[in-house]
Homo-oligomer: A and B are copies of this chain.
Amino acid sequence: MRLRLQAEPFALGAEAQAFAEAQAGAGAVVTFTGLVRDNAGQLSAMEIEHYPGMTEKAIGAMMDQAQARWALEDALVIHRHGRLLPGEAIMMVATAARHRAEAFAAAEFLMDYLKSRAPFWKKEFGADGAEWVAARDADEAALTRW
């Protein structure tokens, strides 16, 4: 169970490989990676603001909950802040469990909570200026299933 908040880019491949190699009892590893979409070339950069202190507390609590609920072997969350370029990875979640249903459910749960309950805010920079990304109703609604 590890959480990393960082301004630096990360390589999802290297992270996923190291995560899987650290598993002994797990038969199933799920990763989710969020990428900066280039929106057909309209986006020049994204900036992510966060709330240091609360971010760690909120994500740590989500991870503890996921671990207990799905008997995870392991979980990893990496989330960037600061300036990102199109195509770069914004964040990733990895989960490991004995069977696939648990690994998938825990990864989706962590994503749903990260989207709407971890204190991050995205701003997109494009040809028409900068704009804060609006929360999607679908993201808030996704929480009701857990």
A residues sitting closer than 8 Å to B (CB atoms) are 11-18, 20-21, 23-38, 40, 87, 89, 98-101, 103-104, 107-108, 111, 138, 142
Contact = CB atoms under 8 A, between A and B. Distances in A.
A20 B89 contact: yes
Contacts of A98: 37
Contacts of A104: 32, 104, 107-108, 111
Nearest to A111: B100
Contacts of A101: 138, 142
B24 A33 contact: no
Contact of A24 (B25, B30, B34, B38): B38
B17 A28 contact: no
Contacts of A11: 17
A4 to B, nearest CB: 17
A87 B12 CA distance: 20
A99 to B, nearest CB: 8
A81 to B, nearest CB: 18
A17 B20 contact: no
A16 B89 CA distance: 12
A31 B31 contact: yes
B25 A16 contact: no
A35 B18 CA distance: 14
Q: Top 10 A-B pairs ranked by shortest CB distance?
A: A13-B17, A13-B13, A27-B37, A29-B33, A31-B31, A16-B16, A13-B16, A30-B32, A104-B108, A27-B35
